[in-house]
């Protein structure tokens, strides 16, 4: 999903809640349709500001409901040792960015069902409020709206269309019987069918003159269709990369010593190895790194006659060469890194390049395409 135009608003339990710009659009659209449609049709002849006040408050509470739903997913994930750094709220609701695939189907099941349980709980709460406060006025309308909204959130998310919660539940059940990739394949197929179904429904609504609803359904359908394809691809890539250890893919080179000229890197090794990071052994015997981007910023007279040790610095991301490629690749994507050095016991082992991993993935996916077309 796109998280380009999102802004962090606060952090709870180590999870940052971000609002995407598209959510503001949804907020305005929901407030508008409640203030001009839903509430006036149920409780006519009230001053416009009352409709707008209750509509805006309702939209805020809807936002809080979605937030509580997502927080329930992330709290259960964190409880099982899976970090959740971000929650994004965007036009179609929210998404908790769960950093890794759960290790076990039962964990995936619990994480997935936590959100709908929260929404059912909130629906139940507003339902009892409506029971306590049965008067036929705007406040009762507000309570009923939140009851319906939370109930819809729970029910919609339980549709078994991966990556919706229901699709994740389906995947966890299939996964307990088959392997993860096959389970994901089936669950994401349901996701794609459901996406197509919504697009079709949107097209029909459009033909019958329900333009806004039609457009909304088409966008939602496209979103779910794309998300299910994307989620399957990401599981597939993880499954490919988990078969390889990083040390088989390293570009290896001898580190520079701190008292060697820094030009050796720029003029001799960079043209050969094409790595934007180069290891340096410090006078204390530690490993530090030259960064191409640091050096390129400097005018050439500042580099003349200087040693590698003058520019070497610590690098924030290093990996253990015995690790598989999954974590390294995810880290590279998240931090937009082209390379990560591998260090073992304070000894430099090599540099892992993102291009190398991506070529590996491409080769796998290409072979598979060739296989499936071969079979016809
Ligand atoms: Zn959910």
- The Å distance, Cα 24 to ligand 1 centre, comes to 20
Tell me what pLDDT residue 374 has.
45
Cα 331 from Cα 25, distance rounded (Å) = 32
Question: Are the C-beta atoms of residues 287 and 343 closer than 8 Å to each other?
Answer: yes
Mapped onto helix, strand or coil, the DSSP state of residue 359 is: helix
How far is CA 222 from each of CA 194, 225, 227, rounded to the nearest angstrom? 10, 5, 8
Tell me what pLDDT residue 2 has.
47
Question: Are the C-beta atoms of residues 198 and 221 closer than 8 Å to each other?
Answer: yes
- The Å distance, Cα 12 to ligand 1 centre, comes to 18
Tell me what pLDDT residue 376 has.
38
Tell me what pLDDT residue 371 has.
60
Tell me what pLDDT residue 146 has.
93
Tell me what pLDDT residue 156 has.
92
- The Å distance, Cα 93 to ligand 1 centre, comes to 9
- The Å distance, Cα 13 to ligand 1 centre, comes to 18
- The Å distance, Cα 167 to ligand 1 centre, comes to 10
Q: Could you report the per-residue pLDDT of 116-169, keeping only the tens digit for each?
A: 999 999 999 999 998 888 777 888 889 999 999 999 999 999 999 988 899 999
Q: Could you report the per-residue pLDDT of 330-360, keeping only the tens digit for each?
A: 889 888 899 999 999 888 999 999 999 999 9
- Residue 150, Cα to own-chain centre: how many angstroms? 23
- The Å distance, Cα 110 to ligand 1 centre, comes to 11
Tell me what pLDDT residue 40 has.
87
Domains and their CATH numbers in the chain: 6-158 (no CATH), 246-361 (3.10.580.10)
Low-confidence ranges of the chain (pLDDT < 70): 1-4, 99, 369-376
Tell me what pLDDT residue 320 has.
92
């Amino acid at each position: 999903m796109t998280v380009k135009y999102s802004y962090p608003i606060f952090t709870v339990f180590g999870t940052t809640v971000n609002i995407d710009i598209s959510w503001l659009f949804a907020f305005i659209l929901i407030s508008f349709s409640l203030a001009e449609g839903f509430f006036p049709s149920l409780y006519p002849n009230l001053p416009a500001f009352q409709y707008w006040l209750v509509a805006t408050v309702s939209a805020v509470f809807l936002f809080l409901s979605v937030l509580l739903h997502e927080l329930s997913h992330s709290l259960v994930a964190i409880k099982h040792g899976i970090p959740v750094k971000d929650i994004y709220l965007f036009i179609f609701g929210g998404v908790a960015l769960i950093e890794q695939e759960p290790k076990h189907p039962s964990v995936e099941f619990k994480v997935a069902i936590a959100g709908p349980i929260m929404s059912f709980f909130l629906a139940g709460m507003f339902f009892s409020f409506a029971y306590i406060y049965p008067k036929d006025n705007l406040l009762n309308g507000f309570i009923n709206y939140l009851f319906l909204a939370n109930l819809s959130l729970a029910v919609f998310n339980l549709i078994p269309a991966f990556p919706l919660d229901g699709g994740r539940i389906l995947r966890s059940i299939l996964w307990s019987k088959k392997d993860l990739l096959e389970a994901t394949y089936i669950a994401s197929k349901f996701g794609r069918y459901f996406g197509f179904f919504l697009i079709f429904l949107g097209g029909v609504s459009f033909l019958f003159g329900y333009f806004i609803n039609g457009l909304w359904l088409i966008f939602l359908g496209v979103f779910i269709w794309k998300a299910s394809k994307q989620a399957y691809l990401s599981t597939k890539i993880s499954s490919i990369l988990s078969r390889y250890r990083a040390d088989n893919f390293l570009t290896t080179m001898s580190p520079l010593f701190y008292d060697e000229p820094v030009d050796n890197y720029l003029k001799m090794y960079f043209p050969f190895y094409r790595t934007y990071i180069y290891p340096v052994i410090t006078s204390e015997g530690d490993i530090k790194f030259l960064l191409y981007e640091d050096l390129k910023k400097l005018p050439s007279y500042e580099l003349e006659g200087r040693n590698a040790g003058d520019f070497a610095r610590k690098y924030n991301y290093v990996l253990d060469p015995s690790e598989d490629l999954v974590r390294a690749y995810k880290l590279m994507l998240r931090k937009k890194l082209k390379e990560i050095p591998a260090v073992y016991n304070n000894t430099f082992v090599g540099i892992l390049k993102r291009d190398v991993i991506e070529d590996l993935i491409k080769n796998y996916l290409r072979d598979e395409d060739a296989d499936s077309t071969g079979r016809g």
